[in-house]
Structure 1
Amino acid sequence: MTTASTTHHAPGSPDRALRDALSTRPRPPRTSALSASLTFARRALLKIKHVPEQLADAIMIPILFTVMFTYLFGGAMAGSTREYLQFLLPGTMVFAVLLITVYAGVNLKTDITSGVIDRFRSMPIWRPALIVGGLISDAARNLLAAGLVVALGLAMGFRPDGGVIGVLLAIALVLAFAFGLSWVWATLGLVLRTPSAISAVSFLVQFPLTFASNVFVDPQTMPGWLRTFVEVNPVSLLVDAVRGLMHGTAQAGQIGGVLIASGLLVAVFGPLTMHLYRTRT
């Protein structure tokens, strides 16, 4: 006669743990694209919290450029630093923000070289969330730089004829163009080999474009061949629109041109970045 035996598993036994791990309970819902992007944006901001030195450029560039160029060139260019500041400040805001957009590529390349991006790619999340979240955090960095320029300028005597609304619209326009430009650096972050290479390329591209523009001087004082380049320089077009908004003289064509240029940067380099992200990481 055969007697059937029943095996009882203790609550903490390995067999019980295995049965719990193979539970048929429904999986948690997948996070949305927006939620995943905001999570990565928060991650980037937390990195700044733990390594505040990452904000050095966003803080020091606006302060140094606004103060230094105002007091170095103000007397020679306009006869007084206060008068020159009215012309200079919109340009230094553009200058400061555009210079730090390179972090979009540098931070992305840092994640790639450290290997952490492989872990993110294995997770059930919206694939572009890492890049989009990084760009959201970069927008906060850009806003900090723009706000510092305006606050410092007001303390030094800058008085915008366009009022508060004009200043806020000018900042928004700069952030829109910076967002489009950030996609260019994100693309280079997936093409170039090291973060330092991205910084070097940014320096070689942005410094000629910003200095050969109307940021510091009126193009009418330049030789004809240089004035022709400055007048079609996208940085000059952005500065013209920002000056117009701050001083209440902006034209719809200036603002529309900047917005179109920003949209074209996103339309071209956004899909290119996503393609490279899928194929090269």
Structure 2
Amino acid sequence: MSTAVTQTWYMTQRQLRVIARQPAYAVITLIQPVIWLFLFGSLFKKIVRLGGFGTTSYLDYLVPGVVVMSALGASMWAGMGTLEEIQRGTLDRFLTTPVSRAALMNGNVVNNGLVTAFQSVVIVLLGLLGGADYPGGVGGIVILVLASVLLGTVFGALSNALGMVVRERESIIGINTFLLLPLTFLSSAFMAPAQMPGWMRHIADFNPVNWAMVAGRSAMSEHPDWGAVLGRGGALLALAVAAVWLSIRTVRSYQRSV
């Protein structure tokens, strides 16, 4: 067990060194969340008058949504890194060593989780500077970050599995583009569930992206619904475990094909 953890951390460090050599990348990935936060926050700030948002400030409502959307957007492209490893032959060389097959995939997942946590904290701080209020305090923020990391793990692991299966950039780009907008807008990212059409609200109940938003928003509220937090958080955890298991299975299947 300790060997697998050590190997996973080694693979994670490989990914982190890439980011350390290109610090501008970390800044660039925050541009879109900042646009969502302040452009959408200003454009729709009066929409809270419709009711159902649980706050009088749209920015308060929007911050958890932007944190979760940022985690989703970043994790869905994790498979591109896996595809690069395949095309450069790096993965094949690792497969000739005794390194754990789980470590080969989970290093990317752990790296994605660390980056997601960093981005989430930055977005929360930017929201605070913009005037957002977090009645749930530090504990609520921690739960929001954990929810975003779990969501990132789900889609990061699935993206890795996709990269192992399709092995084409165009396919990954097409699938991600197809899924990103429905996953975002069939959730409570921008609109309170009370203001959504009934059919959209029912679909959102089964959307993992919305689970993370519900858990995070509730934990950050003045009176958290811990049933909702634990229920959605537990569902995300179970889905993350299943996605990681699937990604490990795909690397073993890939090994048999080469």
TM-score, structure 2 as length reference? 0.87
Structure-2 change in CA distance of 1:269 and 1:235 (3 Å): closer
- Give the Cα separation in 1 of the matches to 2:110 and 2:208: 23
Aligned partner of 2:8: which letter? Answer: S
1:279 aligns with 2:253: yes
Partner residue, 1:187: 161
| Contact 1:57–1:100 under 8 Å retained in 2 | no
Larger CA deviation: 219-228 vs 49-58: 49-58
1:69 aligns with 2:69: no
TM-score, structure 1 as length reference? 0.81
Partner residue, 1:44: 15
Structure 2 residues not aligned, in runs of 5+: 51-55
Structure-2 change in CA distance of 1:228 and 1:265 (3 Å): closer
The percentage of aligned residue pairs carrying the same residue is 27
- Please tell me whether Structure 1 or Structure 2 has the larger radius of gyration of its CA atoms: 1
Structure 1 residues not aligned, in runs of 5+: 1-30
Deviations 1:193-244 (A, max 9, x none): 2234323312211211111211111122233333332344332232121111
Partner residue, 2:62: 88
- Give the Cα separation in 2 of the matches to 1:144 and 1:58: 11
Aligned partner of 1:101: which letter? Answer: S
Aligned partner of 2:202: which letter? Answer: T
User: Post-superposition shift, 1:53?
Assistant: 4.7
- Give the Cα separation in 2 of the matches to 1:256 and 1:162: 15
User: Post-superposition shift, 1:155?
Assistant: 0.3
1:35 aligns with 2:9: no
| Contact 1:58–1:144 under 8 Å retained in 2 | no
Partner residue, 2:31: 60
Query: Paired residues, what number?
Result: 250
RMSD: 2.3
Partner residue, 1:260: 234
- Give the Cα separation in 2 of the matches to 1:68 and 1:117: 41
Structure-2 change in CA distance of 1:147 and 1:195 (3 Å): farther
- Give the Cα separation in 2 of the matches to 1:216 and 1:208: 13
Structure-2 change in CA distance of 1:213 and 1:32 (3 Å): same
Partner residue, 1:226: 200
Larger CA deviation: 189-198 vs 36-45: 189-198
Structure-2 change in CA distance of 1:196 and 1:65 (3 Å): farther
Q: Which of residues 61, 86, 101 is equivalent to 1:127?
A: 101
- Give the Cα separation in 2 of the matches to 1:223 and 1:128: 42
* 4+ residue runs over 4 A deviation: 76-79
User: Post-superposition shift, 1:76?
Assistant: 4.5
